[in-house]
Amino acid sequence: MPEFLSQANLARVAREVKRPAYDREAIEVGIVHFGPGAFHRVHQAWFVDKLLESDRRWGICEVSLRSTDVRDALAPQDGLYTLASLDETTSFQIIGAVKQTRVAPENPRGVLEQLTAPRTRVVTMTVTEKGYCLGPDGNLDLAHADIQRDLQTPHAPTSLIGYLVETLRRRRANAAGPLTIISCDNLVDNGTRLSRAVQQLAQVRDPDLARWIADTAAFPRTMVDSITPATTQDLRERVAEVLGMTDQWPVQREGFVQWVIEERSAGDIPDWPSAGVIVTSDVGAYDRAKLRLLNGAHSSLAYLGLLAGHETVAEAMDDVDLAAFVATMMKRDIRPTLAAPRGLDLDSYIQAILKRFRNPAIRHALAQIAWDGSQKLPFRLLGTIRDNLQAGRPIDRLCVPIAAWMHFVRRKALDGEQVVDPLARPLFEIGRSCQNRASTDLLLFVALEQVFPPALASNELFTSALTQAYDGLAAGR
């Protein structure tokens, strides 16, 4: 029988593995987290693990809204799991921040009791955009099946938004104190979106409650960053070899990790900066820098790298010409559009991003980064192009990855494949109609108003630069 990681076996873990530097028995639950997936466990839980070294009040109660998988893996391990940090050398540590794991449909009463306990002062979440039940306009979709159920049985909620509204109603009634509710999902203005959704559901239930929430609860915006490959069997085997015992669900990430939280709170909150979290009044500037420098460069590497026959980010960065192109674009074309927030040096940030891209321990597939281009490019690159046009700066380099995306769509269609994209069908039809020359193909693409705003599509400087880039790539230049 294999020996499993657990509190009883923690002392027998190999010495080179870092262990919790605090008494886990003394931990109190102060944070409830919805969505205990891999990213949360390599990111927020890692920061909380550091926080617990000096303040034991902030243990985490993990809540899954549907799946039992994480609970089933971690409960027998007393919430312990291994984090592998993939850098120039790989390091391992045991994370001890998880005090409880719950599955909401199995015990909704227990989840609500923990959420309304006076010692619970922070709620966090990583549920992806889908978990917010938003409509296309960004407002709460009141016709969503889960929201409809929450309106019919409000005291036994189903959705994240339903749980938050019912929690706040009960805390108001019991004078349990305010909550700081922190979205950690990779959404622009995530706190604002979450706050609006919660207040919209509360408004339908009780307008007085909605007003109380607006006056009392805090929904800070955040920015999160760390590349997190999925757990593989290879990782499980490597962790077992290093630990000297089995971990049912280890996780892995790159060495770089960043969490930026808006300076907005209600009541008692953790001393986030002591754990390395950046607390600022200007999350938007951090978010914009990440979106344009990191994500914009990522998409550029994806489409240009795939055209050149590369498979991963690290492989694309080994292409000297491609790496030089992306670095120049970041420094000369993207950086001038950004205002650095206090505490962020943009030149150092660019160098850190390029170093992360070169990390050979992270196998980040270009094909995956290339998904959903119609949704990503307007924010990652087209906004930068627009700003440079308005400032009279050149856009030639910035148009090259846009043209590469078009060729990516065209080549997929030529092979009879649809791209992974919300606009997969119309993009497939466009790709099938392309003739590999800008004079015919660009008109088909820029007519997509979901991607190209009319003001940009009709801009002669843009279409001229895009034409040159498209024909250049078609000719192999």
List the 90-95 sheet strands across, edge first: 90-95, 81-86, 251-254
pLDDT at 144 over 80: yes
The two tokens of residue 315 are 């492989």
**How far, in Å, CA of 7 to CA of 71, rounded?**
16
Q: How far apart are CA 402 and CA 472, in angstroms?
A: 12
Which structure tokens are listed for 345?
């040096």
Planar angle of CA 70, 76, 78, nearest 5 degrees: 90
Please say if the pLDDT value at position 2 is more than 80.
no
Q: How confident is the model at residue 136, as a pLDDT?
A: 83
Q: How confident is the model at residue 342, as a pLDDT?
A: 85
Query: Per the CATH hierarchy, to which homologous superfamily does domain 284-474 belong?
Result: N-(1-d-carboxylethyl)-l-norvaline Dehydrogenase; domain 2 (1.10.1040.10)
Q: Helices then strands (H, E): number in the chain?
A: 22, 11
Average pLDDT over residues 224-245: 94
Average pLDDT over residues 427-437: 97
Report angle CA 404, 377, 189 to the nearest 5 degrees: 160
pLDDT in tens, 320-330: 999 999 999 99
Per residue in 90-130, pLDDT tens?
A: 999 999 999 999 999 999 999 999 999 999 999 999 999 89
Phi and psi at residue 122, in whole multiples of 5°? Answer: -135, 135
The CATH number that domain 10-281 falls under is 3.40.50.720
CB burial class (10 A; 0-12, 13-18, 19+) of residue 230?
A: exposed
The whole-chain average pLDDT of the chain stands at 96
Query: Hey, CA dihedral for 304, 306, 309, 311, is it positive or negative?
Result: positive
pTM, full prediction: 0.90
Q: Which tokens belong to 17?
A: 């593995």
As to burial, measured by CB atoms within 10 angstroms (0-12 exposed, 13-18 middle, 19+ buried), residue 440 is exposed
pLDDT at residue 1, as a whole number: 52
Closest CA to 126 of 46, 236, 6: 46
| 399, amino acid identity | C
User: What ranges do the domains of the chain cover?
Assistant: 10-281, 284-474
pLDDT for 252 beyond 70: yes
Instruction: Give residue 69's Cα distance to chain centre.
Output: 21
Count Cα neighbours of 250 within 13 Å in the Cβ-side half-sphere.
Answer: 27
Q: Give the pLDDT confidence score for residue 188 in this predicted structure.
A: 84
Q: Is the dihedral of CA 321, 324, 329, 332 positive or negative?
A: negative
pLDDT tens figures, 55-66? 999 999 999 999
Calpha distance 419→367 (Å, rounded): 10
H or E element at residue 34 = strand 29-34
| Tokens coding 28 | 């109190």
Please, which residues bridge with residue 29 across strands?
A: 59
- Determine the straight-line distance between the first and last CA of the chain, rounded to whole angstroms: 60
